[in-house]
């Protein structure tokens, strides 16, 4: 690849408890404009991979590069000013703030850009513009997910990290969430998303990494993996053969 990847996570080793590594030598590349999926069974280390890119888990070995710059273990507010946005899986809105205030927090470091970014975000999520004065705490799970994504987009990120955007949503809402993600990506934002719903994720993403026990076990385009019979085996073990 001639072009410098937007995000390059190189052989990461990371974990929460001393002595226990969740990630073991895990790598990931995201190029400009790509929609990258991270899938794998529970406990494979998907969220941990995302959090170690965003400096929320201490990286014990390996490096994270952003456009060629070393951002390993950088603090969250530094990463935000470098254009990395992160949407956690749960508790991802400020419930006592209105939708508009939530979005304002997104541009906390550059308040002057609010109007311009607000327009961009409400183009993708028109509902947020219509209901700007509503408290985020009164929203449903799907609506909160929109607010959270909208807030992350406010900084005009060069890369957006999403931790299970479909979690806790009804099937219809899940589909809507995926399509929104696709739309955000089409607007030019590089997206790295962790997903539980592997099939949906694979349908929309350009490339995906399949994690197994803290390692990147497979990678390929979404379509290739979608039709790969090994996927079922990975998720459900060898159970089906018994």
Choose, by CB under 8 A, the member of 62, 94, 156, 212 that binds other proteins. 94
Describe the crossing of helices 99-106 and 114-124 by its angle, rounded to 10 degrees.
120
Binding mask 160-189 for other proteins (x = CB under 8 A): ----x--xx-xxx-xxx-xxx-xx------
Q: At its nearest, how many Å lie between other proteins and the CB of residue 160?
A: 12
User: Which whole-number Å values give the CA distances from 83 to 9, 26, 106, 111, 156, in the listed order?
Assistant: 16, 23, 11, 15, 7
Output the smallest distance, CB 100 to other proteins, in A: 10
> Which residue stretch of 27-35, 57-65, 87-95, 115-123 sits at the interface with other proteins (rule: CB under 8 A)?
87-95
Using rule CB under 8 A, residue 201 touches other proteins: yes
Question: What is the rounded distance in angstroms from the CA atom of residue 101 to the CA atom of residue 103?
Answer: 5
Residue 61 is a binding residue for other proteins (CB under 8 A): no
The CA distance from 182 to 162, in Å, is: 12
For residue 25, which phi and psi values (nearest 5 degrees)?
60, 55
Nearer to other proteins, 70 or 108 (CB): 108
- Choosing from 10, 25, 101, 127, the residue that interacts with other proteins (CB under 8 A) is 101
Cα–Cα distances (Å) from 82 to 34, 45, 50, 66, in that order, read 18, 25, 17, 9
Nearer to other proteins, 137 or 188 (CB): 137
Question: How many alpha carbons lie under 13 Å from residue 48 in its C-beta half-sphere?
Answer: 28
Return the residue of 30, 53, 66, 204 that touches other proteins, per CB under 8 A: 204
Residues 27-46 that bind other proteins (CB under 8 A): 41-43
> Can residue 129 be called a binding residue for other proteins (CB under 8 A)?
no
CB atoms within 10 A of CB 150: 27
Q: Which residues contact 49 (CB under 8 A, 6 or more apart)?
A: 9, 12, 23, 26, 28, 38, 194, 211
* Nearer Cβ to other proteins (1/240): 240
Stretch that binds other proteins, among 6-14, 66-74, 100-108, 184-192 (CB under 8 A): 100-108
Contact 209, 216 (CB under 8 A): yes
Q: In Å, what is the CA distance from 158 to each residue of 3, 32, 79, 93, 240?
A: 15, 8, 11, 21, 42
Q: Which residue, 4 or 237, is less far from other proteins as judged by CB? A: 237
Residues that bind other proteins (CB under 8 A): 17, 19-20, 41-43, 54, 56, 75-77, 80-81, 86, 88, 91-97, 101, 104-106, 108-109, 111, 140-141, 151, 155, 164, 167-168, 170-172, 174-176, 178-180, 182-183, 196-201, 203-204, 222, 231-232, 235-240, 242
């Amino acid at each position: 690849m001639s072009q410098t990847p937007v995000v390059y996570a190189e052989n990461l080793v990371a974990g929460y408890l001393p002595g226990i590594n969740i990630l073991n030598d895990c790598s990931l590349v995201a190029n400009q404009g790509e929609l990258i999926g991270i899938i794998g069974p529970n406990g494979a280390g998907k969220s941990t991979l995302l959090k170690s890119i965003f400096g929320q888990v201490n990286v014990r070995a390996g490096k994270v590069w952003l456009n060629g710059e070393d951002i390993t273990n950088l603090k969250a507010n530094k990463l935000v000013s470098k254009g990395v946005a992160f949407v956690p899986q749960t508790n991802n809105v400020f419930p006592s703030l209105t939708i508009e205030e939530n979005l304002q927090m997104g541009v906390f470091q550059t308040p002057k850009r609010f109007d311009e970014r607000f327009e961009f975000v409400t183009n993708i999520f028109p509902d947020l513009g219509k209901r700007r004065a509503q408290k985020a705490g009164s929203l449903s799970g799907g609506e909160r997910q929109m607010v959270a994504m909208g807030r992350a987009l406010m900084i005009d990120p060069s890369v957006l990290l999403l931790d299970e955007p479909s979690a806790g949503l009804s099937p219809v809402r899940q589909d809507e969430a995926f399509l929104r993600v696709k739309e955000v990506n089409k607007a030019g934002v590089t997206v790295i998303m962790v997903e539980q719903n592997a099939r949906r994720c694979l349908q929309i993403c350009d490339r995906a990494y399949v994690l197994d026990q803290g390692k990147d076990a497979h990678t390929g385009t979404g379509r290739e993996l979608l039709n790969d019979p090994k996927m079922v085996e990975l998720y459900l073990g060898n159970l089906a053969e018994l």
